Structure 1
């Protein structure tokens, strides 16, 4: 039988031990300074210049801030409590209540960090309760997470997925003179690494990002002895931004993260802004830190990774957990479910209703169409519809929601007309729901695939001087190589991209990102792309529709002109939009934007026409957009004469 869980309380630290894992946590700070497992005295690093061990942290700023970065806070607790102590389980609390005298030094939040160790469990759980009341001042929450800085000498092999695994450089390799900073601090060229095999590679933590829906298990492997350290997130309900919001995972240092709130791949739109006296409470987690070992060193990678995935599946099946003691974490019988079927009605592609095969369907706090991707204060619950458009979402926390959805192959967003109330134990059948995607008339031409990604467009080979070897033979991840935006000027040194409908192939002839061309040191020139097309017979009695879906925008302004590249003002402008920085951070998408532009028949010519697309912000190389899909629609046929 597994050993009982034991608790040892000292003046400045607390130790919990179940015979497999021993945790040492500062008292009352709640910082993990020791993880003993598998013959290793301490899995975490304590000798870094700044961040060490395992800790919750946040980044916050004063209200009105126009940036996504502010003050960094490792959330040192001031009060320690034993919540549960038994042979089967120990749950500890390290809390910090809001103190008005510390205004300006701490974020106006009360935070309760919890750690749980169970009998026979090869790992531990952590969650935190963040709370605001009516007496707290306004502020912005930019980021919060739990982070682990692992033993530098022990953990050198990182695994994120079946195809993204590798030995990692050392932290010193990133520092001058061994490393050379590139366009931004996170991207470093390894010019003289300690281990020569890494020479000439680019290291950038954003190359290891992952979408929320896929970000369930990642971590590091030690080989002497063979031990794995894995961060497992069994649910996305407490993460922000929806299922395809991207975020960090693990990276050099070695560092393993569980991200809960961040502005990565979203920018200012994902900052949580609290008004003065605005109450709020949210539980982040629990997440599971799983530790495993292998007896066969030669097969350690396969054995440890496969076992971590098995444990991931077990944790997902066990959600919501029954053992967290806080009443703020709702158990299974306190939650509800919804089910239904989503259909698509697009009369210009099919006279019949279309099954929403593979649709992303979720519940999020009430808001405007598409608001879920910028929603950060509440909980979200997502699933994918089956081939028949049927869906079921279980274990939904009590509350009021809208149902949101989008369907690959169709532009736009679905949102339920009425809100949905979830109560304990409810099983709500929504029946058949019909999504009518934006459409005014039949398609004249289209470019791309409406899937909220630029992955189908031309992604160039990386500059040989800036390569991450892991990504060379991974076609699905080729967009993660550093500096691909700079290849635009190599491919189009003099004239900008011109795409001819019916002749050009968007997979080969449409560059993945509409960026500026470098023409000198820190001097850039806006690029104007052309879409050339023919109209056999211009419909004089109607209005054409140009629909432009963007998968990313970073401090950009898209201007649209029709058959006149010089007209000012342009026929349409988005204004300055976006701050998702997805181009620099190797993300093939950021936030989704959809623009519907009316084009009068008088603006079109019988025969040859050109639409000019200009990204007008030319301050840096990284101001740019990524397209998801473009479609020109003819005016709707006049059926007034029909019986």
Structure 2
């Protein structure tokens, strides 16, 4: 069949983009996606919803000085419609909303330009947004920016987030009172009388389907299949992470019961207030979010609906390879010719592991706005660009927008963050080779013992089986067992009378180290903090030396971790983190939040020849409802002089 030219119809209250494959209807001038017609289906979006509650951009904002991660929810309403590009190959349209002082306190102080693009022969459409805050406007906070698509619940019943996270889903009706019982936190609902009996007794929670940015490139829904109605796939494809905040392992929502599909650009989930964008007085800001691609496909032959998922993954790869796109008309979206490249080789020097440099295989290497070590995981105003080092430690970070950046990295298997404070200025077409980059992870002495693997998550520690009355069947016998609901309650059941005790040399962290140090629920319903113990033997303690505890945390939520050595009542404790964290990863079924590393000096005078004990106390607890206070460990190490290890002569050069 010959391809059809892209056409644009402008009517009084709506505009329609079509290319012979699909038709997309948008309200005029609001810019809400009200109807998507495809494959004989009059509308893929939920026709029971109001027209402004089907496909839209939204923002959550709060006044300057506000704390927390909530605020005013605002669907972005366009007030002016413009045609940007219109020819047989492409249509691009714009819906803008302008701010002025008369809107203070009523609307987020932003100029927003929502763009929609349709191309010839394309089975979908693109969307991107340009957000701008002028320096003279009020300071304020932005906890969230996203796009939302709400699909027809009578058609879309199978959700796919990844190869191993896909299933038939309950209906939104199943979460309503009478059919569902709200749990704590309220996003989790126990399905007690669902429309389809097969879901009875399951827990539904949108956070169980979160993914890290690096893995969140395509997700969506498949419609049920019949002889008259073949399966249709609706997919949100996010071809680049450059405009998403928090780096490659920041977790975001994807698709969930509704059926709903999201593209999250900015959110405080799994991070807390650290990832709320806070615009200061007289601070100008402008950023392009997207384009993202809504891709539609259908079953061409055979009877396996998952063929549309395989096709969606293929399409995602095509979009990634096409990035940065050459079709967006806005000058604010930089094309390939306006971007640059940074490459080099990352090596690790750890004097206690090797005389030679260690190749930083699979390291995450990126550029982000200038900051400090690890600041990229809290950065939310600018753009970030990341790559993985190959088996030789070589990395190439491509298609970096023009601007100023620092180089950052972290290496699986090693603690800490690499940061180079030299400003890299990217100009159009530049190719910057930084050569050999050396990362020296924190290290004073050889390792006396260690618990866990330094990978910035609690994955690998013991995750219990869920309460059988609160399961999600998808995660039974699943590698992401930590996504089950209510695992925090299992701690008190496993340790009813005393807290966890881990004995170095005898215990196995995969079986004996609970994945989260949570509060203990008491018989009266209140909660109390917990104290874990690490017991270990030392010989030939040198009282004149300083030993070192390296304590890497994968998550913290309104917690204070106190460290004591050989005296559980030591006052003050040897070390305290103070109250840290609001990432809520425990309640939201994430195996990590923000990464933190602490290095703690232990005077040899506190240690003894024989059995020693480190006491780890998480002191914070509140009730009567759980606030999910607690921490997740990534890795713990004790360093100290070891008379049985030969002293190494360090080679200072990598190559002759």
In the alignment, the residues of structure 2 paired with residue 49 and residue 566 of structure 1 have an alpha-carbon distance, to the nearest angstrom, of: 61
**Which residues in structure 2 correspond to 1:598-637 (within 5 Å)?**
598-619=601-622, 620=626, 622-635=628-641
Q: How does 1:31-46 map to 2 (within 5 A)?
A: 31-46=32-47
The question of whether the paired residues in 1 share the 8 Å contact of 2:270 and 2:590 is answered with yes
Q: Moved runs in structure 1, 4+ residues, more than 6 A?
A: 636-640
* Count of aligned pairs: 639
Alpha-carbon contact 2:216-2:238 (below 8 Å) kept: yes
Question: In the superposition, relative to structure 1, how do residues 601 and 51 fare at CA in structure 2: closer, same or farther (>3 Å)?
Answer: farther
Give per-residue Cα distances to partners, 1:170-216, cap 9 Å, x unaligned.
00100111000111111000000000000000000000000000100
Q: After TM superposition, list the pairs within 5 Å mapping 1:404-443 onto structure 2.
A: 404-443=408-447
Kept in 2: contact 1:440–1:635 (CA 8 A): no
Aligned pairs for 1:18-417 within 5 A = 18-48=19-49, 52-222=53-223, 223=225, 224-296=229-301, 298-301=303-306, 303-417=307-421
CA shift digits 1:331-374 (9 cap, x unpaired): 00000001100000000011110000110000000001100000
Q: 1:539-592: CA deviations, max 9, x gaps?
A: 122100011000000000001111111122211100000000001100000000
SS in 2 for 1:207: helix
- Residues 568-587 of structure 1: matches in 2 within 5 Å? 568-587=571-590
User: Counterpart in 1 of 2:488?
Assistant: 485
Q: Paired residue for 1:550? A: 553
| Partner in structure 2 of residue 452 of structure 1 | 456
Distance 2:475 2:530 in 1: 28
In structure 1, how many angstroms separate the alpha carbons of the residues matched to 2:319 and 2:11? Answer: 32
Are the aligned partners of 1:546 and 1:597 in contact in 2 as well (CA < 8 Å)?
yes
- Tell me the TM-score normalized by structure 2: 0.96
Unpaired runs of 5+ in structure 2? Answer: 650-656
Q: Secondary structure at the match of 1:419?
A: strand
Displacement of 1:12: 1.1
Write the distance in 1 (CA, Å) between the matches of 2:354 and 2:382. 37
8 Å contact 1:45–1:152 — kept in the other structure?
yes
State the SS of the aligned residue for 1:298: coil
> 1:148, 1:255 within 8 Å by CA — same for their partners in 2?
yes
Contact 1:51 1:149 survives alignment (8 Å) = no
1:172 is paired with a residue of what secondary structure? helix
In structure 2, do the counterparts of structure 1 residues 67 and 298 end up closer, same or farther at CA, with 3 Å as the change threshold? same
Q: Per-residue deviation at 1:520?
A: 3.5
Q: Which moved more, 1:194-203 or 1:562-571?
A: 562-571
The whole-number CA distance in structure 2 between the counterparts of 1:196 and 1:373 is 42
Distance 1:183 1:134 in 2: 41
Farther off after superposition, 399-408 or 565-574: 565-574
Give the C-alpha shift of residue 416 in structure 1: 1.2
> Once the 2 structures are TM-superposed, how far is the Cα of residue 487 of structure 1 from its aligned partner?
0.6
Give the 3-state SS of the residue equivalent to 1:313 in structure 2. helix
8 Å Cα contact 2:150-2:259 kept in structure 1: yes
The structural deviation recorded for 1:47 is 1.8
Q: Distance in 2 between matches of 1:538 and 1:41?
A: 77
Q: Which of 543, 560, 566 is the matching residue for 1:540?
A: 543
Residue 312 of structure 1: SS of its match in structure 2? helix
Residue 13 of structure 2 is matched in structure 1 by 12
Cα distance in 2, alignment partners of residues 390 and 527 from structure 1: 44
Three-state SS of the structure 1 residue aligned to 2:474 is helix
Deviation per CA, 1:431-484: give whole Å up to 9, x if none. 10000000011111110000001111000011100100011121x211100011
Q: CA deviation at 1:621?
A: 5.1
Counterpart Cα distance in 2 of 1:591 and 1:66: 18
CA positional deviation for 1:21: 1.0
Q: Within 2, Cα distance between the matches of 1:50 and 1:9? A: 17
Alpha-carbon deviation of 1:417? 3.5
- 1: CA distance, partners of 2:147 / 2:613: 51
Structural RMSD (CA): 1.5
Shift of 1:537: 1.1
Alpha-carbon separation, structure 2, partners of 1:162 and 1:38: 25
Structure-2 separation of matches of 1:229 and 1:235: 19
Deviates more, 1:141-150 or 1:619-628: 619-628
Specify the SS of the correspondent of 2:517: coil
| Cα distance in structure 2, aligned partners of 1:564 and 1:11 | 77
- What is the CA-CA distance between 1:639 and the residue it aligns to? 11
Query: How far did 1:534 drift?
Result: 1.1
User: Is 2:505 the partner of 1:502?
Assistant: yes
CA distance in 1, matches of 2:222, 2:38: 13
d(CA) in 2 for partners of 1:181, 1:399? 47
Tell me if the contact between 1:545 and 1:635 (Cα under 8 Å) persists in the aligned partners: no
CA offsets per residue over residues 104-131 of structure 1, 9 Å max, x none? 1111111000000111110000000001
Q: Is the 8 A contact 1:518 1:621 kept in 2?
A: no
Task: Classify 1:425/1:562 alpha carbon distance in 2 versus 1 (closer, same or farther; 3 Å).
Answer: same
**How many angstroms apart in 1 are the aligned matches of 2:52 and 2:589?**
26
In structure 1, what is the Cα distance between the partners aligned to 2:185 and 2:580? 21
Taking structure 1 as the reference length, what is the TM-score of the superposition?
0.98
Could you tell me whether the CA contact under 8 Å between 1:248 and 1:257 is conserved in 2? yes
Q: C-alpha separation between the residues in 1 aligned to 2:197 and 2:642?
A: 64
Contact 1:517/1:621, CA 8 A, preserved across alignment: no
- Corresponding residue for 2:652? none
Q: Secondary structure at the match of 2:315?
A: helix
Could you list the runs of 5+ residues in structure 1 that have no partner in the other structure? Answer: none
What is the DSSP-based 3-state SS (H/G/I as helix, E as strand, rest coil) of the residue aligned with 1:416? strand
